[in-house]
Chains A and B, each alone.
Chain A
Amino acid sequence: MISASLYITVCSAKNRMRKRLARLREPRYLLGAVVGGLYFYLSFFARGRSRQAAARRGRPPAAAAATAAIAASGPAVVGAALLVLATVAWVLPFDSGLLEFSDAETDLLFPAPVTRRQLLLHRLLRSQVGILFGSAIVALAWPAAGWARLRMSVAMWLLFVAMRVYFTAVGLARNRAQASLAARAAAAVPFAACLAATLAVGIAIARTFAASPLGGIADLADRILAVATHGIPAIALWPTTTLARPFFAGSPAQFGAAMAAALAVCGALVAWMLASDEAFQDAASRLAARRAQKAGGARAAAVRARATGLSLALTGPTELALFWKNGVQTLRLTGITAIRIGVAAIAVCVAVSSMVMNTMHLRGGAAVACAVAMAVAAFTAVLGPQVVRTDLRTDLLHLELLKTWPVRPATVVRGEMAWPAAMLTIVGWIAVGCAAAFSPAAFPRTPALTRAAMATAAALLMPGLVFAQYLVQNAAALAFPAWVPLGNQRPRGVDAMGQRIIMLGGALLSVVVLFIPGALVGAAIWFGFQAWLGALVAIPASLLCTVVVLLEVLAATEMLGPLYERLDLLAVERTE
């Protein structure tokens, strides 16, 4: 079976790589690969180089001492964190993905004459490609070079494998709930051991901190090290600190010894997982059913057909029909009750806390709340349309159906973007409203009229910004359908990542260009009337700016009509 697993893994990896290399013949993928590669270089290698240069310039003695202390206590700190994670996994199980067999694996390997343990080993082997890639990325991101980077990569690989095996074993043990009392008791032993170990370590750490006040980071590191090397906590932490030790090994010899011990721990985990194989069949079937539901586009099956409060009249503008359709989708996913409760909770919290802060002049807290609200508003306006994709970027998956409708193309474009744009505008308005509520305490010296004018101007600009972004995103989907991931698709590979970077840059640049006429009109109003209106001039300036932008959006949707008509099903890419 191992040779068959290796064969499947190697062939799949080889064919995937061949396919990705072959698609580089297309200019868009080649360009994406260049940009993606450049991004990797600038993010990892160039940054690592600048850090090395900084390291060569030397560190102050105090900082060096603290670093040494942290390095010495590193295995203990990481080990303690891993122990907590291991215990939490029993209460909130993590999905390791190891039992998620593909359709082909289910249909071909389950009926094959192989044991359950062999199937588990097969999945472990198949997961190695992803784990190796993940550890390589972490190592690349690590601000070091040469030996340190290699050490990080290998240590990370082992930790990822151990975690995946452990989470799978926990899942299998939890799956024994239907088994006999003895089996259930046996499955509960590891959980009891984890809990006891966590309690022992937690009590020891609490005691050492209660003894005397903390004297800095080096002192903190020393105390954790002391806990981890004495008595019962040392025994409790041994498996997890052993897994963490390779990260902190100094010389290759130390690393070799640490890796040997860590491999032994990992081997023990694999043996434990394989011993729990009776529960494997049930767990695998359940995961396969869940995955099949997702893959079949039947995510809606998990969503109830609950009432949304939106109804569709049989006559009226066609844009509203598409607005309704996308609205139903959003409300069915999130739930109208949850939205109502959420909005009411935000309103009450903001009203009460802003009142308290304004009355008690709590400037620091109000400034933080105001800044957070403004950040949410800015994120909503600038990045929200990249994230909320309930428009043509989702519905191009239904292009075959859309194309049969007797509807003008411009109407389809406007109708598709209307709902998400309106929704994000309202979210942006709520964020601006929150910022305005906290502003009296956050900016006590700014006149109330100025604050009100700025908040109103921001609220007026919001629809312009959001609709302009949606126009650009939907235009990109129609003009370059192969560049835009549809629905929940996430094309993989450096080239696909590069494509996304290019699209993001292009979209933001296009929005800036779209805003130029509106900004010029707004600026003219600002400079022309500021002397008479003061801060209030921001209101007409932003209003006119938004009106100009919205008119541009309206005109542009008409111009997108021919693009929609020419859009061919074959141009819409399906991910690998």
Chain B
Amino acid sequence: MALEVENLRRTYDGFVAVDDLSFSVAAGEIVGLIGPNGAGKTTTLRSLAGILRPTAGRIRIDRHDIVADPIEAKRRLAFMPDEPHLFEYLTVEEHLRLVARLYTVADFESRWRALVQELELTGKERALPGELSRGMRQKVVIACGLVRDATTLLFDEPLTGLDPIGIRRMRETIVARARGGAAILLSSHLLHLVEEVCTRVIIMASGRKVADGTFAELASRADLHAAGSNLEQIFMRVTGHD
């Protein structure tokens, strides 16, 4: 398994944001992480990315524990957050170059130009983040994640701020990376996107996992059988909003 999570728990001053969460994502798999606001999705992704220390539990990226062996684990991981955090005074190209240096990307020169083209950032290579739109900044963050060969990709609301063309390209990019062998965990409120690109879905509510499986598996579950066959109906039933 490229990504393994065992009994993850994270609390904030006594408030339990994520509780006893376990799942895994295999290479080539695209797993959707969905749930209502405050379900613990972003906390989960931040814990997986090494930004937040788990209060309890284990997270392994390619068998490297994120707490015990953080450098090797992070080397194999790319996290694309929903809010694009970029350095104000570095251009798009300089951001990619910095990432290449930090992650030791050997064939950077050939790789970054292709990526800029793929994400439609051509012409913006020398622009500062302040000169870019929200969607463009989001693309730069994604480019920083894709410029290296990460085995596990974490996307938090990857389509926020993108135009329709960008959304289509992003979907293609995500699917292409999975076909290339990457394990992908994708958090989104856009259920149609999850339904379209994900091979499996994990539904969270109040910090706990309430459902995990392929769409067929979820639809055939005894308690969800009456809910209907599409993801939205299943989601509503599982989270108690039907």
Chain A positions within 8 Å of B, measured between CB atoms, are 293, 296-303, 305, 312-316, 318, 321, 324-325, 328-329, 332-333, 398-401, 403-408, 565-566, 568-570
Contact = CB atoms under 8 A, between A and B. Distances in A.
B101 A406 contact: no
A403 B67 CA distance: 12
Interface in B42-96: 46, 49-53, 70-75, 77, 79, 81, 85-91, 94
Interface residues of B, number: 40
A314 to B, nearest CB: 6
A576 B100 CA distance: 36
Contacts of B100: 314
Name, among A318, A400, A570, the residue most crowded by chain B CB atoms within 10 Å (CB to CB).
A400
B89 A303 contact: yes
B65 to A, nearest CB: 13
Nearest to A397: B85
Contact of B89 (A312, A318, A332, A408): A332
Given A400-B51, A407-B71, A407-B102, A312 B85 contact: no
Nearest to A302: B130
A316 B104 CA distance: 9
B103 to A, nearest CB: 7
A153 B223 CA distance: 73
Contact of B12 (A300, A314, A321, A570): A570
A403 B130 contact: no
Contacts of B101: 312-316, 318, 321
Contacts of B75: 406
Given A328-B94, A408-B71, A315 B104 contact: yes
B98 A403 contact: no
A168 to B, nearest CB: 28
A301 B51 contact: no
A501 B214 CA distance: 58
Given A318-B102, A406-B72, A305 B128 contact: yes
A432 B104 CA distance: 40
B97 A300 contact: no
A403 B49 contact: yes
A404 B88 contact: no
A329 B130 CA distance: 13
Contacts of B73: 406
B77 A404 contact: yes
B94 A301 contact: no
B88 A299 contact: yes
A413 B103 CA distance: 18
Contact of A312 (B51, B70, B97, B129): B97
Given A300-B89, A332-B89, A401-B85, 15 more contacts: A296-B130, A298-B88, A300-B131, A301-B131, A303-B89, A312-B97, A318-B101, A325-B98, A329-B87, A400-B51, A401-B86, A403-B49, A404-B74, A404-B77, A568-B52
Contact of B70 (A293, A332, A406, A566): A406
A569 B83 CA distance: 15
A218 B207 CA distance: 78
A321 B72 CA distance: 19
Contact of B97 (A293, A314, A398, A565): A314
18 contacts: A300-B131, A301-B130, A301-B131, A312-B101, A314-B100, A314-B101, A314-B106, A315-B104, A318-B101, A324-B98, A328-B94, A400-B85, A403-B49, A403-B50, A404-B79, A406-B75, A568-B52, A570-B12
Contacts of B72: 406
A223 B79 CA distance: 74
Nearest to A327: B89
A297 B79 CA distance: 22
Contacts of B128: 300-301, 303, 305
Contacts of B89: 300, 303, 328-329, 332-333
A383 to B, nearest CB: 24
Contacts of A297: 88, 130
B85 A405 contact: no
B127 interface: yes
A300 B88 CA distance: 6
Nearest to B94: A328
Name, among B49, B50, B72, B94, the residue most crowded by chain A CB atoms within 10 Å (CB to CB).
B94
A298 B137 CA distance: 12
B98 A312 contact: yes
Contacts of B70: 406, 565
A565 B50 CA distance: 9
A330 B103 CA distance: 24
A305 B129 CA distance: 10
B179 interface: no
A95 B126 CA distance: 33
A404 B101 CA distance: 14
Contact of A325 (B53, B87, B106): B87
B88 A406 contact: no
B129 A298 contact: yes
A333 B51 CA distance: 29
A163 B144 CA distance: 50
Contact of A305 (B74, B91, B102): B91
Contacts of A406: 70-75, 102-103
A369 B71 CA distance: 52
B108 interface: yes
A301 B86 CA distance: 13
A14 B81 CA distance: 37
Contacts of A302: 130
A24 to B, nearest CB: 18
Nearest to B89: A329
B176 interface: no
B51 A293 contact: no
B1 interface: no
Nearest to A408: B71
B49 A404 contact: yes
Contacts of B87: 325, 329, 398
Contacts of A332: 89
B114 interface: no
Contacts of B51: 399-400, 403-404, 569
Contacts of A303: 89, 128, 130
Name, among A315, A325, A408, the residue most crowded by chain B CB atoms within 10 Å (CB to CB).
A325
B103 A314 contact: no
Name, among B51, B75, B126, the residue most crowded by chain A CB atoms within 10 Å (CB to CB).
B51
A333 B130 CA distance: 14
B23 to A, nearest CB: 20
Nearest to B144: A401
B86 to A, nearest CB: 8
Contact of B130 (A293, A398, A399): A293
B105 interface: yes
Contact of A300 (B49, B105, B130): B130
A406 B75 CA distance: 5
Contacts of A300: 88-89, 128-131
Contacts of B71: 406-408
Contacts of B104: 314-315
Given A298-B129, A566-B53, A314 B90 contact: no
Name, among A301, A400, A404, A565, the residue most crowded by chain B CB atoms within 10 Å (CB to CB).
A404
Nearest to A318: B102
Contacts of A324: 98
